[in-house]
């Protein structure tokens, strides 16, 4: 018989619905998270998905199939479909069938059965990697093929439990400060400490590689530094852009015992390799021509790195995956807000970076006050009469731009800024001409792709220190830019189709705020236009993430 | 896996499916292949039921459900050249019944057959029996028994054909065997065609054997009990409307599905995110006669939680953006140059409208002759128009 008070509905397609209003919701969610990935979390019913990867992640964290099925049975409203039960048992049993360890300095892959070993020995993609059969169930593996082996096996549906351990790397003295340079008390939050501890696993071979999933604004950088504090070895940090590199360096100086001479910046402007070096994915994938070698990949071998930190791991480009495959003796930490990659390479992240070792839902952090509450409002305004005819006759590709550059938005931006006088604001857009006009009209500084890095840093600094109340920025501000006090964003134009862009833009606002801890994100949209259609994609995405989304007419907002 | 009562659930699914009017074939009134495939995906799967043959195929099940729906006047076909099948008011009312009431209504004809002498013209060797005789045989089913054993014992020991024949003559072994086979196949036929789909009997595969058993509803239908409990779980009286436009059912409810299916795109069946409100589904419903208020009132009235503001606004906005236009035949005059167009326009004295520099349109088709005459006076001969006019006239007469 159905148990209406239980929050889970397990469906035959391996999705799990969770009713948020159920009294047992929180406990069910906490247990579900260990073996299922959150797909979406709109207000009332959340959707999770059980996949082979999510089951292997669970197994890597020590969760057995009995525990998975036990949780589903305990909280499920209806009987669990038989195929789900079978899939959990099957996928779960695959983890641990193949163990990679080290014997007398050499790598050894051991299969649970001779049959499995035999099956592997005939796999086309594996033959070049399995160097030599040693006994019924084992193979000797060349050290250089450790990553390639794991990558190839996961594509065949066989996760490898890698217990081969890591190189120690150059030792590095590193402590987290108890107070920042500016004198603010500095203490790890519980979830940050738990994530770093789970990653390190007391230095055992069961830890040392993995991915920490935390929402934007939850302090992933601090988890990275805490992990560095656990590993205490030279570290290479890879991130998404130069601004993010500088932010990392500032944070390291502000919150750790590292001195300036111990931290190197490896970017287009400066190629300094130190015990802790921060670089970008673009640098590593740079090459002079399409067929040329990658110029800077030697960075990986330039020091005896003990830890590599992959910031925003969902953005990791394919060539970096390739080189990561050969870096399996280094400890590896991935930091991300989402395990979902738009290119579908989640299995490579699992095989080459490591299994998920921490995942804290943003609702939990919002409830604890560690990230701000976000209110998203779409404000619709009409296109001026004299533009409607131009718009109606324009080809499709021009329509979005005409709608985006609705001149009525300028007055609305001004009014919204006036309506929230205490908020530090970002005015965000895609079209530089429009942004230039807005910046001029509002007498605000503008940052675009062509703004020199020095000028950007000055403006970001002034904004951070409160000397500037608002900035007009193009999409250069999307990634890894730390603007701690921004609590108001007004988006005047955007591609609206990219989930990552939306997540990153909103992420800029989520760091905790003093007072009501509220962030506001306005999007200005020309009514009855292509822009409104595009904004619907964005609306769906944000609602699926669980953000509150309201639609208002310009007249209502101003009233 | 136990299987039973798919005929009833197929009927419910068909009616929910036809909440949105569906095109059917002119010749037979059957659904088209695309619709059968779509509906087929929503029917319960009959795992391990291949032994019943054709009756387990999606096509057969849908045809059977269509026949039942049309006999009960739950579906109506309208339109001649492009007919559509749609849910009638009585179909809608039937869906609004509880699961137990629907089962009772569905099984009522069988229960009646137990008290009335309904001749189903079934028999062998000049011996004819009523449907009741065959149904009677299943009254003796106690608990779950292997189907083959049940048929064997009925064919040999409880065979009314044999009993009847033996009253008049001594049966040879061969005749006896023939009557046993006939009774066996007769019981199998009614089991497969009627009793399993209607849920009187349920069956399960146990290793190689097929076990059959009367259901509580079946015991009621066969007159063994006066009441029964319908075991179908809890039916939902509400759903969630999520801000991402999904309508989520946490328990099954065909009547609510039928309501929401009028203006939302179906995504699944049973429980889960069954529907998504999309611009095209809402605008199609609006075009079909539902107002934004109708949709919002259904959603507001049946939603477990307040309707998300963004959803309400979008539905309003999508309906507001609908524009109804009508195709209108018109006559165009194509001129060789702008000057001629100006002459024709002037001659037409308001009866023509300029479409471009050289193309004019006749505002009122009835003025075609007047314009032709007026142009002729200006030395402009609209010959095509004249002959077209004649052609139209000749067709009219």
The mean of the pLDDT values for chain B is: 85
d(CA A328, CA A166): 8
d(CA A525, CA A536): 10
Are B244 and A544 a contacting pair at CB < 8 A? yes
Q: What is the mean pLDDT of residues A106-122?
A: 91
Q: Which of A21, A40, A549 is the closest to B310 by Cβ?
A: A549
**What local confidence, expressed as pLDDT, does residue A452 receive?**
87
Residue A498 in this model has a pLDDT that exceeds 70: no
Name the DSSP letter for residue A233: B
Residue A100 in this model has a pLDDT that exceeds 70: yes
Residue B156 in this model has a pLDDT that exceeds 90: no
A150: part of which helix (H) or strand (E)?
Answer: helix A146-155
* b/e map A501-520, b = 16+ CB within 10 Å: bbbbbbbbbbbbbeeeeebb
Residue A88 contacts residue A50 (beta carbons within 8 Å) = yes
Q: Which residue of B238, B242, B277, B319 to mutate against A (max A Cβ within 10 Å)? A: B242
Tell me how many degrees the CA angle A76-A81-A86 measures, rounded to the nearest 5: 115
Chain A contact set for B271 (CB, 8 A): 9, 11, 17, 78
Are A42 and B246 a contacting pair at CB < 8 A? yes
Residue A223 contacts residue A194 (beta carbons within 8 Å) = no
d(CA B17, CA B91): 12
**What local confidence, expressed as pLDDT, does residue B396 receive?**
46
Residue B50 zone, left/alpha/beta (φ > 0; ψ -120 to 50; rest): alpha
Q: How confident is the model at residue A362 (pLDDT cuts 50, 70, 90)?
A: confident
Are B248 and A17 a contacting pair at CB < 8 A? yes
Which residue is closest to B235 within chain A, CA to CA? A2
Q: How large is the C-alpha radius of gyration of chain A?
A: 25
**What local confidence, expressed as pLDDT, does residue A89 receive?**
95
Q: Are strands A8-10 and A15-19 parallel, antiparallel or unpaired?
A: antiparallel
Which residue is closest to A8 within chain B, CA to CA? B250
Q: Which of B233, B246, B305 is the closest to A2 by Cβ?
A: B233
- Number of CB pairs < 8 Å for A and B? 70
Of the CA atoms within 13 Å of residue B275, those in its CB half-sphere come to 26
**What local confidence, expressed as pLDDT, does residue B127 receive?**
61
Q: How confident is the model at residue A25 (pLDDT cuts 50, 70, 90)?
A: very high
Tens of pLDDT, residue by residue over A124-180, are 888 888 888 898 999 999 888 888 898 889 888 999 998 988 889 999 999 999 998
Residue B397 in this model has a pLDDT that exceeds 50: no
Q: What is the mean pLDDT of residues A354-360?
A: 88
Are A11 and B272 a contacting pair at CB < 8 A? yes
Q: At residue B238, what are phi and psi to the nearest 5 degrees?
A: -160, 165
Residue B144 in this model has a pLDDT that exceeds 80: yes
Tell me how many degrees the CA angle B258-B263-B269 measures, rounded to the nearest 5: 45
Interface of B with A in 314-333 (CB under 8 A): 314, 317, 321
3-state secondary structure B231-291: CCCCCCCCEEECCCCEEEECCCCHHHHHHHCCCCEECCCCCEEEEECCHHHHHHHHHCCCC
Which residue is closest to A11 within chain B, CA to CA? B272
Residue A525 in this model has a pLDDT that exceeds 90: yes
Q: Which of B271, B308, B321 is the closest to A528 by Cβ?
A: B321
Q: Which residue has the tokens 């339109």?
A: B79
CA distance A533 to chain B (A): 10
Q: At residue A252, what are phi and psi to the nearest 5 degrees?
A: -60, -40
CA distance A67 to chain B (A): 24
Are A43 and B305 a contacting pair at CB < 8 A? yes
B29: part of which helix (H) or strand (E)?
Answer: none
d(CA A546, CA A542): 6
Closest CA relative to residue B2, chosen from A343, A153, A79: A79
Are B244 and A77 a contacting pair at CB < 8 A? no
Chain A contact set for B234 (CB, 8 A): 2, 4
CA distance A544 to chain B (A): 6
Closest CA relative to residue A205, chosen from A166, A235, A231: A166
Residue B181 contacts residue B124 (beta carbons within 8 Å) = no
Chain A contact set for B251 (CB, 8 A): 2, 4
Are B248 and A45 a contacting pair at CB < 8 A? yes
CA distance A80 to chain B (A): 13
Are B310 and A543 a contacting pair at CB < 8 A? yes
Are B233 and A45 a contacting pair at CB < 8 A? no
Measuring CA to CA, how many Å separate A115 from each of A41, A97, A542? 43, 11, 48
Q: How confident is the model at residue A288 (pLDDT cuts 50, 70, 90)?
A: confident
Interface of B with A in 229-258 (CB under 8 A): 233-234, 240, 242-246, 248, 250-251
Lowest average pLDDT, out of B36-40, B45-49, B58-62, B389-393, goes to B389-393
Q: How confident is the model at residue A342 (pLDDT cuts 50, 70, 90)?
A: low
CA distance B68 to chain A (A): 30
Q: Does B204 touch chain A (CB under 8 A)?
A: no
Contacts (Cβ under 8 Å, ≥6 apart) of B207: none
Residue A332 in this model has a pLDDT that exceeds 90: yes
Are A550 and B314 a contacting pair at CB < 8 A? no
Residue B119 in this model has a pLDDT that exceeds 60: no
Chain B contact set for A549 (CB, 8 A): 243, 308, 310
Q: Which residue of B310, B311, B321 to mutate against A (max A Cβ within 10 Å)? A: B310
CA distance B329 to chain A (A): 24
Closest CA relative to residue A46, chosen from B34, B180, B273: B273
Are A45 and B242 a contacting pair at CB < 8 A? yes
CA distance A522 to chain B (A): 14
Residue A297 contacts residue A284 (beta carbons within 8 Å) = yes
Mapping DSSP to helix (H, G, I), strand (E, B) and coil, where does residue A288 land? coil
Q: Which residue of B229, B238, B272 to mutate against A (max A Cβ within 10 Å)? A: B272
Percentage with pLDDT > 70 across chain B:
90
Residue B182 in this model has a pLDDT that exceeds 80: yes
Which residue is closest to B249 within chain A, CA to CA? A45
d(CA B28, CA B13): 20
The encoded tokens of residue A493 equal 């134009």
The encoded tokens of residue A279 equal 């670089």
Instruction: Spell out where A31-164 has E strands.
Output: 37-40, 45-49, 98-103, 106-111, 130-133, 138-141, 160-162
Chain A contact set for B308 (CB, 8 A): 43, 543, 549
Q: Which of A9, A544, A549 is the closest to B250 by Cβ?
A: A9
Helix axes A242-255, A220-231, angle to 10 degrees: 60
Quote the distance between the C-alpha of residue A513 and its chain's center: 22
Chain B contact set for A543 (CB, 8 A): 242-245, 308, 310
Tens of pLDDT, residue by residue over A180-216, are 887 889 999 999 999 999 999 988 888 899 999 998 8
Residue A521 in this model has a pLDDT that exceeds 70: yes
Higher pLDDT, A251 or B166: A251
Q: How confident is the model at residue A480 (pLDDT cuts 50, 70, 90)?
A: very low
d(CA A469, CA A417): 10
d(CA B101, CA B162): 39
Are A551 and B314 a contacting pair at CB < 8 A? yes
Are A2 and B251 a contacting pair at CB < 8 A? yes
Chain B contact set for A47 (CB, 8 A): 273
Residue B12 in this model has a pLDDT that exceeds 60: yes
ipTM > 0.85 (yes/no):
no
Which residue is closest to B245 within chain A, CA to CA? A540
Are B308 and A78 a contacting pair at CB < 8 A? no
Kindly compute the dihedral angle of the four CA atoms of residues B148, B149, B152, B153, in this order, to the nearest 10 degrees.
-150
Closest CA relative to residue B269, chosen from B96, B10, B24: B10
d(CA A14, CA A50): 5
CA distance A78 to chain B (A): 9
Lowest average pLDDT, out of A326-330, A376-380, B68-72, goes to A326-330
Closest CA relative to residue B111, chosen from B224, B196, B248: B224
């Amino acid at each position: 018989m159905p148990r209406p008070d239980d929050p889970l509905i397990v469906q035959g397609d391996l999705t799990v619905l969770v009713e948020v209003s159920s009294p047992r919701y929180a406990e069910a969610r906490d247990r579900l998270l260990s073996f299922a990935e959150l797909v979406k979390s709109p207000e009332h019913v959340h959707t999770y998905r059980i996949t082979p990867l999510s089951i292997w992640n669970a197994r890597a964290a020590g969760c057995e199939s009995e525990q998975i099925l036990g949780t589903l049975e305990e909280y499920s409203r209806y009987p669990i479909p038989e195929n789900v039960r079978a899939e959990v048992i099957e996928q779960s049993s695959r983890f641990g069938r193949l163990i990679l360890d080290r014997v007398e300095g050499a790598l050894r892959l051991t299969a649970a059965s001779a049959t499995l070993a035999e099956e592997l020995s005939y796999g086309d993609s594996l033959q070049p990697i399995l160097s030599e059969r040693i006994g019924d169930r084992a193979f000797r593996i060349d050290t250089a093929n450790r990553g390639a082996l794991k990558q190839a096996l996961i594509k065949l549906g066989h996760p490898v439990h890698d217990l081969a351990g890591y190189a120690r790397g150059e030792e590095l003295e590193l402590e987290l400060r108890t107070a920042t340079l500016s004198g603010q008390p500095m203490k790890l939050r519980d979830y940050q400490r738990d994530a770093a501890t789970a990653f390190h696993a007391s230095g055992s071979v069961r830890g040392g590689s993995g991915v920490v999933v935390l929402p934007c604004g939850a302090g992933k950088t601090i988890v990275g530094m805490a992990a560095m504090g656990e590993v205490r070895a030279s570290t290479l940090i890879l991130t998404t852009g130069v601004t993010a590199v500088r932010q990392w360096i500032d944070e390291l100086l502000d919150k750790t015992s590292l001195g300036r001479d111990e931290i190197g910046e490896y970017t287009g402007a400066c190629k300094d390799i130190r015990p802790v070096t921060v670089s970008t994915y673009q640098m590593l994938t740079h090459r002079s021509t399409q067929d040329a070698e990658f110029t800077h990949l030697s960075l990986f071998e330039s020091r005896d790195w003990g830890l590599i930190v992959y910031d925003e791991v969902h953005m990791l480009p394919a060539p970096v995956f390739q080189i990561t495959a050969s870096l399996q003796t280094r400890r590896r930490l991935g930091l991300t807000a989402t395990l979902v990659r738009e290119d579908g390479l989640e299995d490579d992240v699992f095989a080459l970076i490591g299994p998920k070792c921490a995942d804290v839902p943003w609702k939990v952090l919002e409830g604890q006050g560690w990230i701000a509450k976000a209110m998203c409002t779409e404000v619709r305004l009409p296109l001026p009469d004299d533009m409607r005819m131009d718009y109606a006759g324009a080809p499709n590709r021009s329509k979005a731009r005409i709608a985006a550059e609705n001149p009525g938005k300028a007055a609305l931006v001004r009014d919204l800024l006036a309506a929230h006088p205490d908020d530090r604001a970002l005015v965000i857009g895609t079209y530089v001409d429009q942004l230039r006009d807005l910046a001029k009209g509002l007498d605000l500084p503008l940052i675009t792709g062509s703004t020199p890095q020095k000028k950007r840093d000055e403006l970001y600094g002034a904004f951070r220190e409160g000397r500037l109340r608002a900035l007009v920025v193009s999409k250069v501000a999307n990634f890894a830019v730390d603007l701690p006090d921004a609590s108001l964003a007004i988006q005047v134009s955007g591609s609206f189709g990219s989930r990552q862009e939306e997540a990153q833009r909103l992420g800029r606002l989520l760091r905790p705020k003093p007072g009501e801890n509220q962030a506001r994100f306005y999007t200005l949209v020309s009514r009855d236009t292509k822009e409104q259609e595009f904004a619907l994609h964005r609306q769906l995405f944000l609602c699926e993430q669980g953000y509150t989304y309201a639609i208002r007419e310009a007249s209502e907002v101003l009233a | 896996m136990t299987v039973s009562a798919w005929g009833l659930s197929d009927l419910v699914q068909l009616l929910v499916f036809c909440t949105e009017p569906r095109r059917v074939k002119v010749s037979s009134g059957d659904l088209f292949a695309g619709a059968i495939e779509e509906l087929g995906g929503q029917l319960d799967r009959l795992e391990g039921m291949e032994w019943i043959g054709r009756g387990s195929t999606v096509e057969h099940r849908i045809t059977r459900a269509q026949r039942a729906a049309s006999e009960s006047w739950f579906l109506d076909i309208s339109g001649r050249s492009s007919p559509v099948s749609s849910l009638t008011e009585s179909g809608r009312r039937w869906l609004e019944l509880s699961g137990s009431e629907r089962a009772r209504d569905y099984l009522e004809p069988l229960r009646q057959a137990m008290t009335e002498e309904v001749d189903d013209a079934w028999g062998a060797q000049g011996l004819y029996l009523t449907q009741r005789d065959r149904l009677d045989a299943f009254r003796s089913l106690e608990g779950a028994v292997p189907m083959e054993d049940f048929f064997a014992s009925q064919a040999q020991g409880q065979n009314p054909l044999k009993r009847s024949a033996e009253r008049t003559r001594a049966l040879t072994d061969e005749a006896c065997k023939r009557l046993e086979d006939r009774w066996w196949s007769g019981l199998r036929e009614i089991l497969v065609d009627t009793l399993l789909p209607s849920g009187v009997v349920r069956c399960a595969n146990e290793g190689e054997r097929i076990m059959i058993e009367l259901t509580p509803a079946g015991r009621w239908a066969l007159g063994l009990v006066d009441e029964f409990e319908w075991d179908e779980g809890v039916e939902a009286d509400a759903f969630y409307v999520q801000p991402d436009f999904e309508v989520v059912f946490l328990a099954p409810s065909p009547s609510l599905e039928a309501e929401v299916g009028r203006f939302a795109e179906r995504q699944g069946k049973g429980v889960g995110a069954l529907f998504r409100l999309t611009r095209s589904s809402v605008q199609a419903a609006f075009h079909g006669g539902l107002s934004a208020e109708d949709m919002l009132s259904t959603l507001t009235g049946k939603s477990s939680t307040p309707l998300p503001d963004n959803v309400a606004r979008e539905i309003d906005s999508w309906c507001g953006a609908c524009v109804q236009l009508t195709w209108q035949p018109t006559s165009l005059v194509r001129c060789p140059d702008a000057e001629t167009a100006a002459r024709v326009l002037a001659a037409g004295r308001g009866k023509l409208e300029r479409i471009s520099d050289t193309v004019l349109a006749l505002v009122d088709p009835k003025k075609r002759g007047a314009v032709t005459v007026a142009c002729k006076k200006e030395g402009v001969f609209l010959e095509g128009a004249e002959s077209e006019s004649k052609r139209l006239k000749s067709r009219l007469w």
